[in-house]
Structure 1
């Protein structure tokens, strides 16, 4: 059957369009100053600070995030402290993840394009998550991007497109493991099917490939072991489990549908049921495809196993986050913006499995439904985000002017704490007040003649 060129063009147009919406309608309204965890960078960025290994590899709450710290450092220094640069990085990595899933889904369908592949950019690049407005969301976005790249590299290898794809995949999973606790879960879960693939090909592999794989696997295993053994729980994670039984079910339900972003905040029942149906269908199709291919001893069974592992690690991450955070707080609408990006690979891996297992006519019908649903979610989330940014821009401009003024740091922090931190308690006000003098040492935030005062 001859496929039309526009079916291949639509996912690319969706990716370009989503990026265009961000740059034209969202980026000009973003906060150029730090928000919440971003303030922790000032000690290293200020004139008296320095880029040290202790700071790079030190724990931030529960997480070791040296890749994020390093990239953010080298973005903030040349921009003079313009924190909007961090959102550009967020969108770049989200776009990379979207590209990976466009390619993975098409490879699983033997190269056939599909309108449904446009779901990837529409879900990952919408305004329904904090990544479009908060630099520190890179922790979640980076782990999703590295996991996606690893899955693409492995599937490309199995399709004869990337000679050392498995080795690249292990190296990408090492980077993923350095993206916090969520990255460790992804790196471990996706490494398992790759180990099975290495074992299956061990006898046929050349001596050079065997050595390279042994090195890649050794680095991957050593990284995971070191991170797990040196991990220390933060105060939130170490809290008592009192009330967990009551708070866990709604937290799990909220997390499961949070891949829809802000759109998931209302009408819990239908959206939760839809997500459960998508997961169930993907598992059934994936397991059936895996059994059929392995019964025929087809090497392609490993690509199905890898995508199933992506779906599995997303669900596992969801469960770990729910268990660790439900002890500290009940689920509440709005947490989708923070945690939702971690669950975005649930629908994307599900679409890759389902579209590969469906016949041409069924696949096209499902593609139209998937595209319509993803477009609606993107439209809703983007409209909400742009409205929120526009409504809040006067406060952003006032908070920016206050930072450039001669007013004391304590006075500025006290008046504009809602623009600087998600908590408004005395401890947060004090932390921001202590960091403002460090921010004012950076070129963008030094007082300039003629700076308008509040």
Structure 2
């Protein structure tokens, strides 16, 4: 029988599959911007996977997982970018599943229909940059590792194996994207408070040492791993100085970034501040009202919100100097929009004694998100991305046909003749496709 929960799940799956089909349709088999760095001599052209290259920084990030996936696609498919983009989107689907699971664990009585309704806002085309660019797997991977790691750390039974696994996942997130460093530390900070309170309140004499031992093991793994990931972190030449929280432009940037997560593309400090308040007010209320006597599930929810907040603060620290306009960059939306379902869950939790208020809060929040997302369903960005890459394909085709400077500004900011030559030597997928089309044209 098709009950409302099943219909809601079916609708969400249907939206995801339609979105997958659109991503597949608009994908183009050509490297884009940072991906051309994969054609440096120490990367793909090397006979074996280079660990030095794998762990080397890309700008301010260690993107070990992204490099590894690209290297595997290079070996298995000649670095086919359409396949890479489809894989990237399927991986994003795992993040959606993990978020649904986290919400159900955090607030088991939150209706499935509500969970699916809020997760819909994570599937708008406004996240086009991360969906149509295989290089952006780093975002999906970081957020999935955070979500899974936090769920394991706040396991209801506090099994040691799960706690250690959760700590390892936080470290993997830090090796996927630089924001994973601060996000992992924020999650671990909440976990430290959670375990310390459990140890202090333990009635059984055997419980306290166990709690402290688990805290020590998980904390040591996380801190050591994240410290290793952060080793060598420095300010990049050519980038503006870090913007610190005592500067007003830090908060202007941050609230606009949060507003983007709720679907608002337009710059507005007022709207962004309201969105930020919608997140922090229930968190503060829950902590104060409970006097820090939260359930494991509630601590998990607080930890996830703290981790997302730390990631957004890190982006603000490094990018606010470029101007507030960059707060509306599509790529950052994926981190910020996790606040939408998390905010719904925290309001449902804090308003537990008041059934009517719970429902009203969710309706108001969902309506606000709908207003923000009203213009986010357009496919104009997908079309623009495809057109831009097709211009790049034409430029590469022209180079292979007639030579020249290979100044393909749609693909990379400087001429790329050496990289195009290397791609031809490696018989990469996009080169084979271009050469095959040239042969057909001659015939």
Q: Does TM, normalized by the shorter one, top 0.5?
A: yes
Task: Go from structure 1 to structure 2 and tell me whether the alpha carbon gap of 1:334 and 1:323 turns closer, same or farther (over 3 Å shift).
Answer: closer
Report the aligned-residue RMSD: 3.4
- Structure 2 residue ranges without an equivalent (≥5): none
Please give the residue correspondences for 1:343-382 in structure 2 after superposition, counting only pairs within 5 Å: 343-358=336-351, 359-374=354-369, 380-382=375-377
Q: TM-score, normalised by structure 2?
A: 0.83
Query: Which of 55, 58, 61 is 1:60 aligned to?
Result: 58
CA distance in 1, matches of 2:421, 2:289: 59
1:154 partnered with 2:153: yes
Task: Go from structure 1 to structure 2 and tell me whether the alpha carbon gap of 1:18 and 1:407 turns closer, same or farther (over 3 Å shift).
Answer: same
Please give the residue correspondences for 1:283-322 in structure 2 after superposition, counting only pairs within 5 Å: 283-288=283-288, 290-291=290-291, 294=293, 300-322=294-316
CA distance in 1, matches of 2:211, 2:403: 58
Query: Which of 252, 255, 258 is 1:256 aligned to?
Result: 258
Query: Which of 64, 69, 78 is 2:67 aligned to?
Result: 69
Contact 1:317 1:342 in 2 (8 A): yes
Point out the more displaced range, 400-409 or 101-110: 400-409
Point out the more displaced range, 73-82 or 233-242: 233-242
Instruction: Report the 3-state secondary structure (helix = DSSP H, G, I; strand = E; otherwise coil) of the residue aligned with 1:51.
Output: coil
1:13 is matched with 10
2:421 is matched with 437
Instruction: Report the 3-state secondary structure (helix = DSSP H, G, I; strand = E; otherwise coil) of the residue aligned with 2:125.
Output: coil
CA distance in 2, matches of 1:14, 1:367: 19
Task: Go from structure 1 to structure 2 and tell me whether the alpha carbon gap of 1:249 and 1:108 turns closer, same or farther (over 3 Å shift).
Answer: closer
- 1:48 to partner: Cα distance: 4.5
- 1:128 to partner: Cα distance: 0.9
Give the number of aligned pairs. Answer: 425
1:97-126 C-alpha deviation (Å, 9 max, x unpaired): 222222222223334424331255323332
Instruction: Report the 3-state secondary structure (helix = DSSP H, G, I; strand = E; otherwise coil) of the residue aligned with 1:380.
Output: coil
- Structure 1 residue ranges without an equivalent (≥5): 295-299, 422-427
1:377-414 C-alpha deviation (Å, 9 max, x unpaired): 5563232xx23333564553353254356235654x32
Point out the more displaced range, 393-402 or 145-154: 393-402
Query: Which of 110, 114, 122 is 1:124 aligned to?
Result: 122
1:36 is matched with 33
Task: Go from structure 1 to structure 2 and tell me whether the alpha carbon gap of 1:334 and 1:189 turns closer, same or farther (over 3 Å shift).
Answer: closer
Task: Go from structure 1 to structure 2 and tell me whether the alpha carbon gap of 1:351 and 1:206 turns closer, same or farther (over 3 Å shift).
Answer: same
CA distance in 2, matches of 1:395, 1:99: 32
Task: Go from structure 1 to structure 2 and tell me whether the alpha carbon gap of 1:396 and 1:14 turns closer, same or farther (over 3 Å shift).
Answer: same
Task: Go from structure 1 to structure 2 and tell me whether the alpha carbon gap of 1:280 and 1:207 turns closer, same or farther (over 3 Å shift).
Answer: closer
CA distance in 2, matches of 1:435, 1:290: 59
1:174-193 C-alpha deviation (Å, 9 max, x unpaired): 11111222001111111123
Please give the residue correspondences for 1:34-433 in structure 2 after superposition, counting only pairs within 5 Å: 34-43=31-40, 46-48=44-46, 50-129=48-127, 130-155=129-154, 157-158=155-156, 160=157, 164-199=161-196, 200=198, 204=206, 215-237=217-239, 239=241, 245=247, 247-260=249-262, 263-266=263-266, 268=268, 271-288=271-288, 290-291=290-291, 294=293, 300-327=294-321, 329-332=322-325, 335-358=328-351, 359-374=354-369, 380-383=375-378, 386-390=379-383, 393-394=386-387, 396-404=389-397, 406-407=400-401, 410-411=404-405, 413-414=406-407, 416-418=408-410, 420-421=411-412, 428-430=413-415, 432-433=416-417
Contact 2:256 2:269 in 1 (8 A): no
CA distance in 1, matches of 2:339, 2:272: 13
CA distance in 2, matches of 1:74, 1:120: 34
CA distance in 2, matches of 1:410, 1:215: 58
CA distance in 1, matches of 2:241, 2:418: 28
CA distance in 2, matches of 1:363, 1:179: 37
